[in-house]
Amino acid sequence: MHLPDLDDLLDRVHVVSLPMRVRFRGVTVREVALIDGPAGWGEFGAFAEYAAPEAAHWLAAGVEAAYRPLPPVRRDRIAINATVPAVPPEQVPAVLARFPGARTAKVKVAEPGQTLADDVARVGAVRAQIPTVRVDANGGWTVEQAVAAAAALTADGPLEYLEQPCATVAELAELRRRTDVPVAADESIRKADDPLRVVRAGAADVAVLKVAPLGGVGPLLRIADQVNVPVVISSALDSAVGIGIGLAAAAALPQLTHACGLGTGRLFVEDVADTPDPVDGFLPVNRAAPDPDRLTALAAPPDRRDWWLDRIRECHGLLDSVAR
């Protein structure tokens, strides 16, 4: 990738703070740096705990979107899943109401401080309204815990898959030998030095791919072409800008058989652009451009803007080394 001049990149950055409806991934406000580039808007939103070598992949994705055209699309709408945080079951109907027409739901499980019984109750509340349910443990279980969870969570109905039930590739492979529930890999792909290792090890039935952690749409499509399992495109708690880029990536895939995790914009109280509501569980493929007034209203405090600019400076020097 041709790298933009650092000063030019910094001049194009807008840092925003997006309030969330519920706590998700431990945060109630999502900060991202948006890049107003010559090819469109890009997004850099690596989570705060990520060190520069990992965060640099996210910056590469933002630079790609801002400075290079996106690939041609093969479809004009994408089926999305509802995303259900680790909320009590009585809150599930309100969460699902934000995803009209969705036929698939992804439910967060293995939340620290919660029990398997909490997960079963939440999944049961979702299953009462949505026909297809997948769960995401973010690597939170041991193999033994995952085997027990798979049995408990399928006692009243099937699961489409367990997303990243265990942390390591070896654990995922062992779990696949011990359960009939399909296993999806997320962190084992996006956090790996070799994103294809999980598939070569026979450790995944589905690959969950996210644009930002993989370094952009181009790298994502190259990985999707090599994994030889069905692909789900998901967001990394992106703003409307990042969601639009994710939709473009999903639309560019030669085959897409599963609903994608690109409806997480429903988790924000406010976003930088208006996004259409899902229709019959689908979102149109549409690249978002922020509203100037919202960029102003949602601007991060000066100290947080400075923090993000310093982070961009640090990651910019690593961009050559993260190209895949």
Read off the pLDDT of residues 136-178 as tens digits, 9 standing for 90 and up. Answer: 999 999 999 999 999 999 999 999 999 999 999 999 999 999 9
Give the catalytic positions in this structure: 108, 210
Query: Are the CB atoms for 189 and 231 separated by under 8 Å?
Result: no
> Cα 225 to the chain's mean position, in Å?
19
Q: Is 49 flagged in the annotation as binding?
A: no
**Looking at residue 24, what is its pLDDT?**
77
**Looking at residue 239, what is its pLDDT?**
97
Domain boundaries of the chain, sorted by first residue:
6-70+292-323, 77-284
> 177-216 burial by CB neighbour count: b if 16+ within 10 A, else e?
eebebbbbbbbbbbeeeebeebbeeebbbbbbbbbbbbbb
Query: Are the CB atoms for 45 and 224 separated by under 8 Å?
Result: no
CA dist 265 and 239 (Å) reads 6
Which CATH number describes the domain made up of 77-284? 3.20.20.120
**Looking at residue 323, what is its pLDDT?**
62
CA distances from 147 to 79, 182, 207 (A): 29, 12, 20
CA dist 64 and 37 (Å) reads 9
Q: Is 186 flagged in the annotation as binding?
A: yes
What would the two tokens of residue 316 be? 């910019």
> 223-241 burial by CB neighbour count: b if 16+ within 10 A, else e?
bbeebeebbbbbbbbbbbb
Query: What number of other Cβ atoms are within 10 A of residue 2's Cβ?
Result: 6
CA distances from 91 to 21, 81, 125, 139, 255 (A): 12, 17, 9, 24, 35
The series of mean pLDDT values per 10 residues for the chain, 324 residues long, is: 90 97 85 98 96 97 97 97 95 94 97 97 98 97 98 98 97 97 94 87 96 97 94 96 98 97 92 91 95 98 98 96 70
Q: Which CATH superfamily is domain 6-70+292-323 in?
A: Enolase-like, N-terminal domain (3.30.390.10)
Task: Give bridge partners of residue 260 from the DSSP assignment.
Answer: 80
Q: Kindly give the pairing relationship between strand 183-185 and strand 40-44.
A: unpaired
pLDDT in tens, 1-18: 578 999 999 999 999 999
Q: Is the dihedral of CA 319, 35, 231, 158 positive or negative?
A: positive
CA dist 194 and 239 (Å) reads 28
> 96-114 burial by CB neighbour count: b if 16+ within 10 A, else e?
bebbeebbbbbbbbbbeeb
pLDDT in tens, 223-234: 999 998 999 999
